[in-house]
Structure 1
């Protein structure tokens, strides 16, 4: 139904020989006049300018096809119109076009057109960590941001239009914060050659696609590779939490290397885990004694070697081989600890940070609860 109230949307921003920068718009309702004062959303802020010419293609020709145009003094909806006016270089495709009437406040209208892009700014991650997103229009940017929100991919920066060097430089700040997020997701936009070369030099990844899902697939594959390589590099520093209890009488070797029969009471025991016993203070109120047992170098159940044993997995217990460093004599069963002592993984502060950063998804709620318990037992700050 035709309405006199103006409804107009910018579809595309184009440079036309002889006309300069123009905008193709869809006039859904109302009337546009030559000389109208218009306000549109721009990359560097709102744009207020005067319509120099209203153009439509020749009859039976398409707006996008290069040809001579028909000039109009006014155009009534609904029509596709090309508008020639000054200062349109930074106009944003997908934004609304408003006409300033005699009783309208131009400043208010400027705020109104900019509300479209400022509302999208609220989707940026408050921590400042995230990918950079670039799209061809406001609408496609909005759709991409919503898809990333649902996919739980944080976004640190947004922009509309082709990718230039300044966009790459802005994204490169993420290299120090979170390298796996130093990525540009570019939807239906061109990437400047200089920008691509700079990105290659700075190790910023640029993913391009015309379909949102393809962008997502490219990013998730890249992110998975980065996370896996990070895990491998940090695996040596990660000590997973576990609580063990000796099986009474199951002592196969009393001193280095200790070979003991144990049950996994909580968490998961892995080969390479350093173990310790925390003994009560000799004097009430005094410090508790932490006895370092050494590192787990082997786990066996029913003569089968195992790399990891989780709580409830080792019915009947497992045989655990524990060795100390070459220069240490090591503790002795019966003198430094007994089968009445609980045995804990020796989790240092650094390891807790590594577990939070790289192994969060591999840890269960019970294991995080055990970490909290170990912090108290081992007095980890």
Structure 2
């Protein structure tokens, strides 16, 4: 427990308890691997036996290190694959079994973006304390022994999730368009129309579109019917046929377009 930088004589002890510094004298200690056993041979015939035991221990340790290095390399490849596919960067990466803390960390994304509340488990096992948590919290776990199978499963999940959201927000998302002669954007059924020169008065909703065997970007025939629950707007009274029409886009529609379309 003394300051090691102060020159002083070492004290000799028969025993040393945990957390106490000791000095070991021996040959070729620079080749010693930290974490291995330290064995003492009291008799000459014990040396060979202990040497075999340490050799076996060393092989197991080196194999474990190589395995961890291989897993780390595969994790770097997975992260690179996600990055090149424009997937939001992962919030963390660990080597070894999946624990409760890993599931808890992934569950934080449930409050921000549900599609990223996932764990990509490459060739790992799940500890008992984390086996039932994903289902109860809503965290998705993708597990595979081949890295590309793991990546493909996650990308399919994201595509299915996007299609589900597109279906959910189909009635809300309004694609920008200008005029009956489509100068920009897309004309789609269900789009509410308004007249900007008349204080954005709502004139109805596009219910059908006809193209007389011509290109979409030239001219189309659009049928507009009153929005359900609102009184009809009359041409010549509420607006003129020469007025420019715009599709009416809400903040909610803009958010849906940015997120899912």
Q: What TM-score range do you get, normalising by the shorter chain?
A: 0.7 to 0.9
Alpha-carbon contact 1:53-1:83 (below 8 Å) kept:
no
What is the aligned counterpart of 1:237 among 172, 196, 203? 172
How far apart are 1:330 and its partner, in Å? 2.3
Q: 1:263 aligns with which of 174, 178, 181?
A: 181
Deviations 1:84-122 (A, max 9, x none): 9xxxxxx89546xxxxxxxxxxxxxxxxxxxxxxxxxxx
Q: 1:328 to 1:142 in 2, by over 3 A?
A: closer
1:52 to 6, 22, 37: 37
CA offset at residue 71 of structure 1? 4.3
Aligned counterpart in structure 1 of residue 104 of structure 2, from 166, 169, 172: 169
Q: Which structure 2 residues correspond to residues 66-77 of structure 1 after superposition, within 5 A?
A: 70-71=52-53
Q: 1:178 corresponds to which residue?
A: 113
- Deviations along 1:99-146, whole A, 9 cap, x unmatched? xxxxxxxxxxxxxxxxxxxxxxxxxxxxxxxxxxxxx73222222222
Q: Deviations over 1:339-378 (max 9, x none)?
A: 332111001122111111111xxxxxxxxxxxxxxxxxxx
TM-score by length of 2: 0.73
* Structure 1: runs of 5+ lacking an equivalent: 1-30, 39-48, 55-67, 74-79, 85-90, 96-135, 245-261, 280-287, 360-381
Deviation at 1:37, TM superposition (A): 7.0
Query: Which residue number in structure 2 is paired with residue 313 of structure 1?
Result: 216
Counterpart-to-counterpart distance in 1, 2:66 and 2:127: 18
Determine the structure 1 residue equivalent to 2:141. Answer: 206
- Match of residue 143, structure 1, among 55, 77, 99: 77
- Note if contact 1:240-1:268 (Cα within 8 Å) is conserved in structure 2: yes
User: Corresponding residue for 2:157?
Assistant: 222
Q: In structure 2, do the counterparts of structure 1 residues 332 and 32 end up closer, same or farther at CA, with 3 Å as the change threshold?
A: farther
Q: What residue in structure 1 maps to residue 236 of structure 2?
A: 334
Determine the C-alpha separation between the residues in 2 that align with 1:351 and 1:299: 21
Q: Please, which runs of 5 or more residues in structure 2 have no aligned partner? A: 1-26, 40-49
Given the superposition, is the C-alpha separation of residues 313 and 169 from structure 1 closer, same or farther in structure 2, using an over 3 Å criterion? same
Compared CA separation, residues 83 and 327, structure 1 to 2 (3 A) = closer
Distance in 1 of aligned mates of 2:91 and 2:238: 54
Q: Distance in 2 between matches of 1:156 and 1:294?
A: 46
The number of residues matched between the two structures is 221
Instruction: Judge conservation of contact 1:34–1:53 (CA < 8 Å) in 2.
Output: no
Q: Provide the residue aligned with 1:293 in structure 2.
A: 203
Aligned-CA RMSD value: 3.2
Match of 2:196? 278
Measured at CA, do residues 165 and 335 of structure 1 come closer, stay the same or move farther in structure 2, by a change above 3 Å? same
Q: In structure 2, the residue corresponding to 1:268 is in which secondary structure?
A: coil
CA distance in 2, matches of 1:337, 1:205: 53
Task: List, as ranges, runs of 4+ consecutive aligned residues in structure 1 with deviation greater than 6 Å.
Answer: none
